[in-house]
Amino acid sequence: MSDLKAGQAAPDFELPDQTGAQVRLSQFRGQAAVVLFFYPKDDTTGCTIEACTFRDEMPRFDAMGAKIIGVSSDSSESHARFAGKYDLPFSLLSDKGGRVRKMYGATGLLMGLIPGRVTYVIDREGVIRHVFSSQTAFRGHIEEALRALPKA
């Protein structure tokens, strides 16, 4: 479950991606909508389905001018292996300690013991336009984001 709702400003943050480069959410402001998805763990069944479905739908996201960013607590090295194994063409950010996950309220199940699977569609001005939370509807995150983007 997410604490943030549509209409609220997306909290800014900076985290390293799979190459070690720092990515700041605000760097996209005024340039692109962002689909920010929090997922539990690299290279697990559900997370692989979700990430590969985002990959497969990249032409549709590109056509809408949206950037895809994944976030989990895995290391940049783990993200690099995951992205390389599945040819993932988007940034995977390492949120060691879950600081950004907590900031967004994407803490998940069992009092945060199982990291949440939550997707935020953020417009070009940095406002959250849609939130979708489901631990098991892996492909639903992509479908919901694609439906919400024209409004973002």
| pLDDT the model gives residue 138 | 93
Per-residue model confidence (pLDDT) at position 113: 66
Catalytic residue among 47, 68, 100, 131: 47
Q: Residue 54 has which token pair? A: 């985002």
CATH topology of domain 14-151: Glutaredoxin (3.40.30)
pLDDT, residue 115, reads 83
52 φ/ψ sector (left φ>0, alpha ψ -120 to 50, else beta): alpha
Cα-to-chain-centroid distance, residue 66: 12
Q: Where are the domains of the chain?
A: 14-151
User: Between β-strands 128-133 and 66-72, what pairing exists: parallel, antiparallel or unpaired?
Assistant: unpaired
| pLDDT score for 3 | 78
Is 47 an annotated catalytic residue? yes
| DSSP track, 80-135 | HHHHHHHT--SEEEE-GGGHHHHHHT---BTTTTB---EEEEE-TTSBEEEEEE-S
Query: pLDDT tens per residue, the chain (152 residues)?
Result: 467 999 999 999 999 999 999 999 999 999 999 999 999 999 999 999 999 999 999 999 999 999 999 999 999 999 999 999 999 999 999 999 999 999 998 887 655 567 889 999 999 999 999 999 998 899 999 999 999 998 76
What pLDDT is attached to residue 29? 96
Distance CA(85)–CA(5), nearest Å, equals: 34
pLDDT at 69: 98
pTM greater than 0.85 (yes/no) = yes
| Residue located via tokens 């390389």 | 84
